């Protein structure tokens, strides 16, 4: 075997990768025995058959001081400040940190080849450099969390040692939607200082997702101006599937030049099961939903409110798809309504922000939001956002939908 191809669609921890590699090994028990003999203090590695969902495989267990890592116990601490790396009320017995120099000292003392040592340290050096850049401190002061645990050192060393022992000529990386692994692979390869005649190479691949650039800030602008009525609305849904889920709450206000002239709010019986978490976060009672009208009763009232108005909502094209799906059996469609997408508009007006969901925009504009899982309170926050954004647009000389459309089309928002 000269080429090893990893495709980790949902990610893979070090023990998972080690288990997969062990199944390719001619003598797994011999490798585990040699791994336990390389000198990682207080660490024991074992491999055993495992069956999950009717599929047989191998499970690798890495025990430190006789105890295996418990995922549920990871990061069980409070007041964790990365800026100066303080740890208060921190359970150090479960979650010990090692510096890069600690890792370096440990690796240098292992009973492995010099080449494997260099490769293992190159991986940790890349992590230290990334953490250094993120936290603004020298790499020498970086403390490793999970990757600095003894079981993490075991996984990293085992994988690199095994790959080196097999003499692979290529490694393929196929990230999904990102190229995060490319730089690590590139720099690691460079630091290996391979001779020119060495055929080893990295194969780079990526599953690319296309951005739908048809998502515009303004749609069907007509001759609407900012003096025309706007309907700001927000909806809470039971899930993400148009076909299987439903709407549980609709809240809307009709606004003219920043002043609210009419309000609309209703709970909706979606006639599907509502996740308990959704009820809890939205502070809905079961009676609120059970006694509420169904969507066929609510939509005609909402559609009447929206007549001759500009619709405004977050991710509004998705919301219009939902409304159309819910209204198709009663002949109600919101296609063709003039609209403004608040997500896109916020990116245009506040381009230095990293995220543009409602809570983030509220925080930036210093607008309180009582409960972001409630359509009513989200709409109340949107009123204040709308007033501020209208002032921002006026300061740019934009006073109608057509002018906003031209300005935002040029800007090419991508969210």
Note the pLDDT of residue 178.
72
Strand pairing of 55-64 and 339-341? Answer: unpaired
CB atoms within 10 A of CB 108: 10
Half-sphere exposure of 11 (CA within 13 A, CB side): 3
- β-bridge mates for residue 67, sequence order: 64
Output 34 or 379, whichever has higher pLDDT.
379
295-304 pLDDT tens trace:
999 999 999 9
Does residue 138 register a pLDDT over 80? no
117-131 pLDDT tens trace:
888 888 888 877 777
What are the tokens at 326?
């819910």
Whether the Cβ atoms of residue 315 and residue 235 lie closer than 8 Å to each other: no
Note the pLDDT of residue 1.
54
53-109 pLDDT tens trace:
778 888 888 888 777 765 433 333 333 444 333 333 333 334 455 677 777 888 888
Note the pLDDT of residue 150.
47
Global pTM? 0.52
Mean pLDDT of the chain: 80
Q: Which of 169-173, 218-222, 225-229 has the lowest mean pLDDT?
A: 169-173
Output 402 or 93, whichever has higher pLDDT.
402
What share of the chain has pLDDT > 90, as a percent? 38
* List of domains in the chain: 3-68+95-207 (no CATH), 218-411 (3.30.420.10)
Query: CA 364 to CA 386: how far, in whole Å?
Result: 14
**250: pLDDT confidence band, cut at 50, 70 and 90?**
very high
For residues 229-243, average pLDDT: 92
Output 160 or 313, whichever has higher pLDDT.
313
342-383 pLDDT tens trace:
999 999 999 999 889 999 999 999 999 999 889 999 999 999
Note the pLDDT of residue 94.
42
Q: Which of 29-43, 139-153, 188-202 has the lowest mean pLDDT?
A: 139-153
How long a stretch of residues is the chain? 415
Query: CA 70 to CA 72: how far, in whole Å?
Result: 5
Q: Give the residue among 278, 337, 353 at the shortest CA–CA distance from 303.
A: 337
156-214 pLDDT tens trace:
334 544 555 577 777 776 666 777 667 766 766 776 777 888 777 777 778 787 765 56
Does residue 141 register a pLDDT over 50? yes
Per mean pLDDT, which of 114-118, 171-175, 399-403 is the most reliable? 399-403
What are the tokens at 356?
């543009």
Q: Which of 82-91, 259-268, 280-289 has the lowest mean pLDDT?
A: 82-91
Note the pLDDT of residue 235.
96
Give the 3-state secondary structure of 18-31.
HHHHHCCCCCHHHH
Contacts of 126 (CB under 8 A, 6+ apart): 184, 187, 188
Note the pLDDT of residue 78.
35
């Amino acid at each position: 075997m000269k080429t090893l191809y990893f495709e980790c669609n949902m990610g893979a921890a070090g023990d998972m990768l080690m288990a997969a590699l062990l199944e390719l090994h001619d003598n797994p028990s011999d490798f585990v025995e040699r791994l336990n003999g390389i000198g990682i203090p207080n660490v024991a590695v074992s491999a055993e058959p495992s069956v999950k969902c009717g599929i047989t495989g191998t499970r690798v267990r890495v025990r430190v001081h006789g105890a295996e890592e418990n995922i549920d116990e990871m990061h069980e601490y409070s007041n964790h400040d990365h800026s100066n790396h303080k740890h208060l009320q921190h359970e150090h017995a479960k979650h010990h940190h090692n510096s890069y120099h600690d890792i370096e000292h440990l690796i240098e003392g292992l009973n492995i080849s010099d080449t494997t040592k260099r490769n293992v340290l190159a991986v940790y050096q890349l992590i230290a450099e990334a953490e250094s850049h993120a936290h603004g401190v020298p790499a020498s002061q970086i403390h490793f969390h999970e990757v600095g645990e003894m079981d993490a050192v075991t996984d990293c060393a085992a994988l690199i040692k095994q790959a080196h022992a097999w003499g692979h000529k290529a490694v393929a990386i196929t990230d999904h939607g990102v190229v995060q692994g490319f730089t690590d692979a590139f720099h690691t390869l460079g630091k290996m200082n391979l001779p020119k005649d060495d055929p080893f190479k990295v194969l780079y691949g990526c599953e690319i997702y296309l951005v739908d650039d048809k998502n515009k800030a303004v749609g069907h602008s007509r001759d609407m101006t900012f003096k025309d009525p706007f309907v700001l609305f927000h909806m809470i849904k039971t899930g993400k599937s148009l076909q299987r889920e439903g709407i549980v709450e609709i809240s809307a206000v009709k606004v003219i030049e920043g002043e609210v002239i009419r309000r609309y709010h209703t709970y909706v019986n979606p006639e599907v099961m509502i996740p308990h978490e959704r009820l809890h976060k939205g502070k809905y009672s079961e009676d609120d939903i059970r006694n509420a009208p169904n969507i066929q009763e609510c939509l005609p009232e909402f559609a009447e409110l929206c007549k001759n108005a500009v619709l405004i909502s977050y991710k509004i094209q998705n919301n219009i798809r939902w409304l159309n799906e819910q209204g198709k059996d009663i002949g109600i469609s919101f296609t063709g309504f003039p609209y403004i997408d608040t997500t896109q508009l916020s990116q245009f007006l506040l381009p230095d922000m990293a995220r543009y969901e409602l809570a983030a925009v509220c925080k930036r504009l210093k607008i309180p939001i009582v409960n972001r899982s409630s359509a009513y309170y989200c709409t109340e926050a949107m009123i204040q956002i709308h007033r501020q954004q209208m002032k921002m647009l006026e300061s740019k000389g934009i006073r109608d939908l057509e002018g906003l459309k031209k300005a935002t089309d040029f800007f090419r928002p991508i969210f």
